[in-house]
Amino acid sequence: MAKGKAPRRTLDSYTLRNINKTIKAGDCVLMRPAERSKPQYVARIERIEADARGGNVKVHVRWYYRPEESIGGRRQFHGSKEVFLSDHYDVQSADTIEAKCTVHSFKSYTKLDAVGNDDFFCRFEYNSATGAFNPDRVAVYCKCEMPYNPDDLMVQCEGCSDW
């Protein structure tokens, strides 16, 4: 007789021994890429599960995409730390988590005094199948009519007083 699949249970939190951090649903994390030359993947934890003995911990994640991973690629107004919350869900081993990170709203990111390696921002949701963004427009500024890139210094326009 074939063995049945072992029952899994949902965990409220899990401590990652390799980084000595506790994760829970809703946290954002950096995950190890298959190729070391690639940047770490950014994901939001949706659920944490373990086998009946508390081992073999899996995380259900919702991926963030970087602009270069999206249809259309990186554009001039995309910030270097910009990510898009996608509709792409997956299950990964908790062992692939390398660090916790923070994905800020665009507004809160622009107010940070200092941006750390583990700080990112998101102003769009991304449909990975169609390449569509929500919202499908972003506010433009001044005479250049470009969306704001938080990596670029903005100065006040003498004509319209916009920043």
What pTM, to 2 d.p., does this model score? 0.82
Segment 122-142, tens digit of pLDDT:
999 999 999 988 877 776 666
How many domains is the chain partitioned into structurally?
1
In a domain, 146, yes or no: no
Residue 87 sits in a domain whose CATH number is 2.30.30.490
In a domain, 161, yes or no: no
In a domain, 50, yes or no: yes
| Strand pairing report for 146-147 and 140-141 | antiparallel
Domain containing 124 equals 9-138
DSSP string covering 31-78:
E--SSTTSPPEEEEEEEEEEETTS-S-EEEEEEEE-GGGSTT---TT-
Q: Residue 87: pLDDT band by 50, 70, 90 thresholds? A: very high
Residue 96 is predicted with a pLDDT of 95
Segment 63-81, tens digit of pLDDT:
999 999 999 899 888 899 9
Coil, helix or strand at residue 134: strand
In a domain, 132, yes or no: yes
